[in-house]
Amino acid sequence: MTRRNLLLLAVVLLVACALPFLVSNYRTFQLTLVLVYAIALLGLNILTGYSGQISLGHGAFYALGAYVTAILMDKAGVPYWATVPAAGAVCLVAGFLFGLPALRLEGLYLALATFALGVAMPQLLKYHHLEKWTGGVQGIVIPKPDAPFGLPLNPDRWLYYFTLVIAVLMFVLAWNLLRGRVGRALVAIRDQHIAAEAMGINNALYKSLAFGVSAMYTGVAGALSAIAVQFVAPDSFNIFVSIVLLIGIVVGGLASISGALYGALFVQFIPNIADDISTAAPWAIFGIFMIGFVYLMPTGVAGAVRLLLAKRRSAP
């Protein structure tokens, strides 16, 4: 990483730390959700962008993470911060297990199978034999955490910083994972899986690993969203959650870590602007943006930024 990039990163972090004191509580809450989305998008990007496996059902892992947190907090009295790693672990295992059979599926078929998972998820959550834990259609309400150690922060700001710390951790982890041996192996499998196999990369292991790690990221995001929103219910995890995540990575940029942040800002704030037109408008606008990006900017915002920077550097 060059010095310039480091400097840029430091500025971004500083701004991220200062933001809650500059905007209203409601905006702080929205920024928390941006961070949550960024983690989820990073997860999906590991799978779809880097490893080339299309998932239209990541909302299911998001839901799983959220429910693990809600159930642990509500039924077992586990403190909120301890539920986040638990949600990540559960989703890691679930994702790895789903990834094993998914190995045999390529491209379109994987998209189909995961789409089915995403559509079926709300019904699974409503299943009445699980109602004891999931609360059925009603869902679960969880309390809002206060700042610990007598820190002079209101709950919204505290939650923002809590999420920010986890997000930074997850981004550093992903950066380390993807720029090294694992990342190169994933990209090699994506671009030419037979050649990758011939080079000694264990396709099956890496592909299911990518699925597991990706689900873990999305699960952690789901857990944080449950804490932030203080509520989980089956119908808030319909197929459109998965579609939002797909929009996020397409707009932010595939196979790009910074793209997760651009995508998260997009999916969080565009609906706010579009809501003024009509309640159905955000989705129409999302759809139009999706098509527009596939046609005109297949590398997303991150790709466009990269191109701009490269142009400026090559100019005298």
Where does this chain bind another protein (CB under 8 A)? 48, 52, 54, 56, 101, 104-105, 107-109, 111-113, 115-117, 119-120, 123-124, 126-128, 194, 239-240, 243, 246, 250, 254, 278-284, 286-288, 290-291, 293-295, 298
For 168, the token pair is 């930074």
Comparing CB distances to another protein, the nearer of 54 and 228 is 54
In the bound complex, what is the minimum distance in angstroms from residue 263's beta carbon to another protein? 13
In the bound complex, what is the minimum distance in angstroms from residue 191's beta carbon to another protein? 11
SS3 140: strand
Give the angle subtended at the CA of 12 by the CAs of 21 and 22, to the nearest 5°.
15
Tell me if 92 sits within 8 A of 216, measured CB to CB: yes
In the bound complex, what is the minimum distance in angstroms from residue 315's beta carbon to another protein? 31
In the bound complex, what is the minimum distance in angstroms from residue 128's beta carbon to another protein? 6
Integer Cα distance of 33 and 30 in angstroms: 5
Tell me if 56 sits within 8 A of 243, measured CB to CB: yes
Comparing CB distances to another protein, the nearer of 78 and 188 is 188
Comparing CB distances to another protein, the nearer of 24 and 278 is 278
Integer Cα distance of 214 and 220 in angstroms: 10
Comparing CB distances to another protein, the nearer of 61 and 80 is 61
Comparing CB distances to another protein, the nearer of 130 and 177 is 130
In the bound complex, what is the minimum distance in angstroms from residue 298's beta carbon to another protein? 7
Comparing CB distances to another protein, the nearer of 216 and 254 is 254
SS3 93: helix
Question: N- to C-terminal Cα distance for the chain?
Answer: 23
Integer Cα distance of 38 and 248 in angstroms: 9
Residues 219-236 as b/e (b if ≥16 CB within 10 A, e otherwise) read bbbbbbbbbbbbebbbeb
In the bound complex, what is the minimum distance in angstroms from residue 70's beta carbon to another protein? 20
Comparing CB distances to another protein, the nearer of 10 and 291 is 291
Beta pairing class for 231-232 and 140-141: antiparallel
CA 139, 165, 182, 40 dihedral sign is positive
In the bound complex, what is the minimum distance in angstroms from residue 49's beta carbon to another protein? 9
